[in-house]
Structures are given as structure tokens and as C-alpha cells.
């Protein structure tokens, strides 16, 4: 059912835990399945120098959070904004169709954390893609967007 990569990130999650004095925090959730993801960012000169996550959810949610942190660590904020749920799922070597929403939560958590960072700084949020509205972290829950799905 799950790839070896998913099982590895579930059994040995990277960058797990809370962060003291983060520059940005994003929390998203899915009311249908109960998954909740929280991502913390430490940013220096627009580069994500550290990232942590806390996730309450299934194996796919934990693995998606872990992989998402690996994909954005060391990247610029703008590069991190380009990480999609499709990229997370592909890096995990696929997710079952019923679990693709976990990779979407990871993408939205990244965006919510960056939005928080930008709102604390210069307030510029124009490059942040609006969310699907499932958690209202971005305050744009009435905007519908299409997300790539990977099976």
C-alpha cells in the first residue's frame, strides 16, 4: 500500500518537533480525516535555514510533513513556495489516491508558514498561492484553486 520511502519517513521522520522563536508558523488541517500539520520556519536572508514540523495524523500525513521539510530546507522562501503537493508525493514515490490530501496539507502548511513569516515582516503575500480553503490559515477560504494529484 505505501512505498518504502513513505514508510521510512513515517518510521524515521526528519525535522520533527517544535521550534523556539520561529520566523513563521503555519498550521493546517483536514476536517474530514482529522489530520493536523504545523510547520515552523527559521529564515535568514530569505533562506530557510531550519524547519520543524508537528503532525497529528496517519502515516501518509507524517511522511508528507517529513518529506516537505526535507524539500524546503536550505531553499529560498520563493523556491519553497514552488514546492507542490505533487512534488511531495513524487518524492515519497507515490501515495495511494485516498492519501493524496496529505501531500496537499503539506503544501498548504508550507504556504501558511511563509505567509505568517511575510505578514510579520514586510506584509507581502502576493506570491503565495491561495489555499483550497480547508483550514482558513491563509484567510482566503472562499477562493478555490486546483491542486495536482498524484496517485
Tell me which residues are annotated as active site. 33, 102
Report d(CA 137, CA 26) in Å as an integer. Answer: 7
Report d(CA 73, CA 43) in Å as an integer. Answer: 10
Report d(CA 86, CA 98) in Å as an integer. Answer: 14
Element (DSSP H or E) covering residue 65: helix 59-72
**Residue 83 dihedral angles phi and psi, to the nearest 5°:** -75, 120
Amino acid at each position: 500500500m505505501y512505498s518504502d520511502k513513505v514508510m521510512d519517513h513515517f518510521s524515521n521522520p526528519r525535522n520533527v518537533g517544535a521550534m523556539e522563536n520561529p520566523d513563521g508558523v503555519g498550521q493546517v488541517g483536514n476536517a474530514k480525516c482529522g489530520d493536523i500539520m504545523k510547520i515552523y520556519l527559521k529564515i535568514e536572508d530569505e533562506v530557510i535555514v531550519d524547519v520543524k514540523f508537528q503532525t497529528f495524523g496517519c502515516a501518509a500525513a507524517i511522511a508528507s510533513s517529513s518529506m516537505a521539510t526535507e524539500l524546503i530546507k536550505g531553499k529560498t522562501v520563493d523556491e519553497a513556495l514552488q514546492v507542490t503537493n505533487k512534488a511531495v508525493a513524487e518524492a515519497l514515490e507515490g501515495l495511494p489516491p485516498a492519501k493524496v490530501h496529505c501531500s496537499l496539507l503539506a503544501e498548504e502548511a508550507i504556504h501558511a508558514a511563509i505567509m505568517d513569516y511575510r505578514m510579520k515582516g514586510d506584509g507581502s503575500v502576493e506570491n503565495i498561492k491561495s489555499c483550497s480553503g480547508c483550514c482558513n490559515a491563509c484567510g482566503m477560504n472562499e477562493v478555490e484553486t486546483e491542486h495536482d494529484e498524484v496517485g
